[in-house]
Amino acid sequence: MSKKVLKVRKSQTIEGTIKVPGDKSISHRAAMLLGMAPSGLISTVTGFLPSEDCLQTMRAMQSLGASIQRPDSTTLVIEGAGEKFTEPKKVIDCGNSGTSMRLILGILAGQNQMKSKLTGDESLCRRPMNRVVNPLTLMGAKISAEGKNGCAPLEVTGTKLKGIVYNSTVASAQIKSCLLLAGIFAEGKTVVTEPEKSRDHTERIFNYLELPFTADRLKYTISGGHLPKPKDLRVPGDISSAAFWLVAAAARPGSFLRIENVGLNPTRTGILNFLLRMGAKIRENVDEDEYEPSGYIEVQGGGLRGTVIEGADIPNVIDELPILAVAGALASEGVTVIRDAKELRVKETDRIAAMAENLRAIGVEVEDYEDGLAIRAANKIVGARVKSFGDHRIAMAMAIAGLFCEGEMIIEDVDCIQTSYPGFAEDLEKLTGQGR
Ligand code: S3P
């Protein structure tokens, strides 16, 4: 079967106002937490991201007994079943979604005597699960990995978990969130620390849904035995999706872009800080802040210069590093250096290797390190046929590079874009006038 390609050509301006689809991280958490609420009360999620990844989470919660209706593609009407989850009849398929697998594992591990199994696509079955299986095992979980090196498929026999203190050595919101979710079903307190701040969506939704949770800088504590309160929730647009257009507009003089109703959570807005540092003209404004801040971002195109992205800033831009690597190539001067980002090696694909290969293929000078990349500003990039590596963010980053290339950029196998940004091709058309 032939896989879909996306063809992109140079665009003279990036112009317009758009809203990007709902935040992926928040959509996952909304479906999980409200599915875990006690039965009897209904809550509504609006702005849900109707992407493959988030739909896997929705189906998983349905398979545990939560009632979830979807009256339209971005609205979920949920009656939780947290006090009476039932054994899933089928293997839970998480598709391409690491967030679904790692977070749901935390929920399943604490369902006493319930047997369940989690699997995913080829990429997900190669991603490390020991990082969550090991601490869950310390809590008393019974999980056996059928894949090599502790990878999925994962078989779970639910047990009565005990709270532990776990000092994570990786700044990962998925590890933190998995253990805090398990902590809801554990006896006593579960304490998690992380070495640097990762995205705090779990903390915010825990507080909003009135769970007995505290955060003290990098230390998070949940007391077990309480379910989240059912409440309505609005999901803002995903700044990680907005990032592609922000880079395109910032790098193209004469452009003007406005993105409305986008999440402006400070643990996710690193992309704005780095673009500012690279010389971009950006304005942001928070319009609403109930449990997650959201508002608009405006960019006036000017041009960019190289910068250094490293250390404690990395978790805040972890998903934006492929498009920031493209920003480095589109800059008019300097070298953009990305270090301390070895987590990129274990994302949907090895994003360091993938970006190094693709940027070289379009004539950009790149050095790759075990933990990052150095990208020299290229005065010319040449269109080429490049691979997505089955990774949505690599596909979209290369599409943006295509807006600046000589000739034509052909990105292979772009169905993966559906995992986070349904409507990407339509927004490309809207902002650049290019046909699909
Ligand atoms: C996510 C956390 C990040 C991010 C992923 C979504 C989340 O992963 O890369 O796209 O929703 O918790 P890590 O926590 O593994 O860094």
Report field, pTM of the whole predicted structure over 0.85: yes
Give whole-number Cα distances, 267 to 191, 313, 316, 396, in Å: 20, 9, 5, 22
Is the pLDDT at 414 greater than 90, yes or no? yes
Conformational region of residue 340, where left means phi above 0, alpha means psi within -120 to 50, and beta covers everything else: left
Count of CA atoms in the C-beta half-sphere (13 A) of 150: 10
CA 83 centroid distance within chain: 29
Residue nearest to ligand 1 atom 4, measured at CA: 319
The overall longest dimension of the chain from CA atoms, in Å, is 62
Among 23, 24, 25, 343, residue to substitute to test ligand 1 (most atoms within 8 Å of Cβ): 25
What pLDDT, on a 0 to 100 scale, did the predictor assign at position 435?
Answer: 60
pLDDT category at 3 given cuts 50, 70, 90 is confident
CA of 15 to the centre of ligand 1 (A): 30
**d(C-alpha 96, C-alpha 380), whole Å:** 34
Ligand 1 pocket, mutate which of 49, 56, 168, 174 (most atoms under 8 A from CB): 174
342 confidence band (pLDDT: 50, 70, 90): very high
pLDDT band at 434 (very low <50, low <70, confident <90, very high): confident
Is the CB–ligand 1 distance for residue 27 below 6 Å? Answer: no
pLDDT recorded at residue 2: 61
pLDDT digits (tens, 9 = 90+) for 344-389: 999 999 999 999 999 999 999 999 999 999 999 998 999 999 999 9
pLDDT of residue 112: 96
Catalytic one of 319, 350, 413, 427: 319
Ligand 1 proximity of 344 Cβ (cutoff 6 Å): no
Task: Dump pLDDT digits (tens) for 279-317.
Answer: 999 999 999 999 999 999 999 999 899 999 999 999 999
Distance 407 CA to ligand 1 centre (A): 35
Ligand 1 site-directed mutation target among 129, 203, 235, 318, most atoms within 8 Å of CB: 318
- Residue 194 in contact with ligand 1 by CB distance below 6 A: no
**Tens of pLDDT, residues 63-117:** 999 999 999 999 999 999 999 999 999 999 999 999 999 999 999 999 999 999 9
For 192, the token pair is 């998690």
Concerning whether 319 is annotated as a catalytic residue, the answer is yes
Statement: residue 1 has pLDDT above 80: no
